């Protein structure tokens, strides 16, 4: 385990979301570092697959939680997502479902779902 504190973010690959989410995570959870796992449209991937990608994400979360001691796993949905081009209501349904799926993975960490709006503000939607 590291002497520094970590959180884990499962974020979209969209570079516009990276900095606002990482800054929000560091401020909100008072952590030194943010381990970032990126995929296009991770909310949809965790809900619908493909299974190989879900397992890849899970494996990377495991490294962050078990090797870096991360206590928070944050899943990101955002406006104008090219990887999952659906409306906000659909994103929020997928986000909530995906947070519950991640919670079943059995990691000793809080699972949080956040929404990033058109102004790149981060809003907590769900926490388990």
Report the alpha-carbon distance of residue 10 to residue 12 in Å, rounded: 7
- Position 10 in a domain: no
Is the model's pLDDT at 6 over the cut of 90?
yes
Mean pLDDT of the chain: 97
Report the alpha-carbon distance of residue 27 to residue 106 in Å, rounded: 26
pLDDT digits (tens, 9 = 90+) for 10-47: 999 999 999 999 999 999 999 999 999 999 999 999 99
Q: Over range 79-90, report the average pLDDT.
A: 98
Is the model's pLDDT at 118 over the cut of 60?
yes
Domains of the chain: total: 1
Q: Domain range holding 26?
A: 17-127
Report the alpha-carbon distance of residue 83 to residue 117 in Å, rounded: 16
- Position 3 in a domain: no
pLDDT band at 2 (very low <50, low <70, confident <90, very high): low
- Position 90 in a domain: yes
**What is the pTM (predicted TM-score) of this model?**
0.96
- Position 114 in a domain: yes
Report the alpha-carbon distance of residue 110 to residue 55 in Å, rounded: 19
- Position 11 in a domain: no
- The DSSP letter of residue 83 is S
* pLDDT above 90 coverage of the chain, percent: 98
- The DSSP letter of residue 30 is T
CA distances (Å), 91 to each of 5, 32, 53, 126, in order? 29, 29, 19, 13
pLDDT at 1: 52
- Position 66 in a domain: yes
pLDDT band at 57 (very low <50, low <70, confident <90, very high): very high
Question: CB atoms < 10 A from the CB of 4, how many?
Answer: 10
- Position 101 in a domain: yes
- Position 22 in a domain: yes
């Amino acid at each position: 385990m590291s002497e520094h504190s970590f959180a884990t973010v499962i974020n979209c690959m969209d570079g516009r979301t990276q900095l606002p989410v990482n800054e929000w995570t560091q401020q909100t959870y008072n952590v030194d570092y943010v381990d970032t796992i990126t995929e296009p449209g991770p909310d949809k991937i965790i809900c619908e697959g493909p299974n190989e990608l879900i397992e890849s994400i899970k494996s990377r979360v495991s490294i962050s939680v078990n090797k870096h001691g991360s206590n928070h796993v944050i899943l990101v949905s955002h406006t104008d997502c090219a990887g999952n081009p659906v409306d906000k209501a659909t994103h929020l349904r997928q986000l909530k479902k995906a947070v519950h799926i991640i919670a079943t993975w059995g990691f000793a960490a809080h699972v949080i779902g956040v929404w990033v709006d058109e102004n790149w503000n981060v809003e907590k939607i769900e926490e388990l």
